[in-house]
Structure 1
Amino acid sequence: MLNLLLLLCLVYHSVTGNTTVHVTGIKGGRVTLSCDFEDREISDISLNSLSEIIPVCQEKNCSGRVFKEGSCDVIIKDLIFSDAGKYFLNIYYYNDQREVRRRILEYHLHIHGEISVETGEQLKMDVLMINADKVEKNSSGEWTEVWTRGHGVSSDRLTDRDGNLTISNFTVSDTGTYRVLDSEGEIWITVTVTESNLKNTDEDETDSEHHTVGYWIVAVVLTVILILIVAAVVFHKHLHRDHDQSDNRNTGGL
């Protein structure tokens, strides 16, 4: 391992051309940063963003969110909004002369998510990443800025704190599509916000339960009434038969 590290240092200057790959992932899902470099003998890989080196698990049965698959593909699972951004995958491989070379792949990871909020509740979006320059909203065909770096939010109902863009007392007018862009206009995060129908659903279910209970009560009452009617008819016939029998006995005695 030490010899390999020394060798990597010696050939650090040997870098092939960069390639940019655009990748889109769904919040909570997973994405693959494909290296498409299967025909080479890979000696090592490393992954980093603009701000940090990202550990990549290269063992079997990895428990972390970032791990290698195949010879050099990198998987990121359980995606969150803050995963959006630029990634650089360094691939160290042997050429035909058994010399170590490095290839750098650049990835632009765009995260898409959906949020459903009840009216009157608080909407918190963890979208103000380190390279976010502005946040725009589209609800009627036109994009309007709701937050810009250096100027903050555009409404008193919005707050900017700890990387979160928060809307207090959510209303229907807050629904729509929000997107996060950097200073170069690159879109990193897209969030579709809708109004939750949870309360209406609960009310519908409650009404349905009430109707069901009502139907059962009516059915039971009708059944009881029917039983009483049948019992009355049977009882009336029984009395009538006893009366006839009594009349017959009386007549026979005369």
Structure 2
Amino acid sequence: MFRCWNLLLLCLVYHSGITSISVSGEKGGNITLTCEHETNKIVHIELFSEPGEIDVCQDEECSGRVFKEGNCDVVIKNLSFSDAGKYILRMYYNNDLTELERLIRTYQLHIHDEITVKTGEELKMSVLLSNADKVEKSSSGEWREVWSRTDGVQSDRLNVTDGNLIFKSFTASDAGTYRVLDSKEKTLITVTITESKEKLDTEQHRNWIVPVLVCLVILVVLIVISVIIWRRRHRAHTQVPAEENQEPPLGLEEL
């Protein structure tokens, strides 16, 4: 049935207009691809990404993650990094002459996220998509390449495994903003990484706790030594008179 419907669409006269729209969404959130078409005579919509056609539910009550809203808008729920990239929305509608026409909208979906990491922890980011060409980090207002599909990672502190960019042991110098670009320099993903304040507080506590503990240990040692010296002197002072009192008086011996 669906195949026959496709053949029918191909046989009908259509008109196509292509408009590129930039869309940005937060990882884990929702995004709407607005069709910007007010006609209520739309009979069919199709959504495509680079991997292929996407199944679009007809309303948000569907169990799927992608559904139609209103006249022809498409909502994508629970965004992930893998959703970033180019989308094409095809809308088929009846014109005033009852002929079926086609309208095309293209979208460039950008996913952004914020991550807080503790110093020393491993950080794994699933940002190396099939259409990712390079990863850059913002440093002193300039973008510096840290990975590319042709040259790999630019630092021995980074690893790449199964589409993941991995920081072996996160440090304060790794914090910053990273972006993933495709081969046409279009931004796919932006991730802002900050160092955990909880870890910083722990480090600060450690910096002053250690010297305090050392001082306490030294103080305890000095107190113990002082007590030992005092006891020895006190014992020597009390033992000398006792020994002198044990000698009998001179007058008694003569008697």
Shift of 1:36: 1.2
- Kindly provide the CA deviation profile for residues 131-171 of structure 1, in whole angstroms up to 9, marking residues without a partner as x: 11110001322211000112110011111121111111000
Q: Which residue of 2 aligns with 1:247?
A: none
Partner of 1:131: 131
Identity among equivalent positions (%) equals 57
Q: Which has the greater radius of gyration? A: 2
2:37 & 2:175 partners in 1: Cα distance? Answer: 43
Question: How far is 1:16 from its partner?
Answer: 1.4
Mapping 1:1-254, distance limit 5 Å: 4-11=5-12, 14-59=14-59, 61-199=61-199
Cα offsets for 1:40-66 (capped at 9, x unmatched): 400000101122111111145122211
Q: TM-score, normalised by structure 1?
A: 0.75
Q: Deviations over 1:203-250 (max 9, x none)?
A: 99xxxxxxxxxxxxxxxxxxxxxxxxxxxxxxxxxxxxxxxxxxxxxx
Give the whole-Å Cα distance in 2 for the aligned partners of 1:90 and 1:165.
34
Aligned residue identity for 1:128:
L
- Which runs of 5 or more structure 1 residues have no equivalent in the other structure? 205-254
Deviation, structure 1 residue 201: 6.5
**1:9 aligned counterpart, secondary structure:** helix
Output the CA distance in 2 between the equivalents of 1:96 and 1:191. 47
Q: How many residues align?
A: 203
| CA distance in 1: counterparts of 2:155 and 2:202, whole angstroms | 32
Answer yes or no: is the 8 Å Cα contact 1:90–1:105 preserved in 2: yes
5+ residue gaps, structure 2, are: 205-255
Query: SS state of the match for residue 198, structure 1?
Result: helix
1:128 aligned counterpart, secondary structure? coil
Taking a change above 3 Å as real, the CA distance of residues 93 and 63 of structure 1, as seen in their structure-2 partners, is same
Is contact 1:27–1:81 with CA below 8 Å preserved after alignment? yes
1:23-48 Cα shifts (integer Å, max 9, x gaps): 01011111100001122400000101
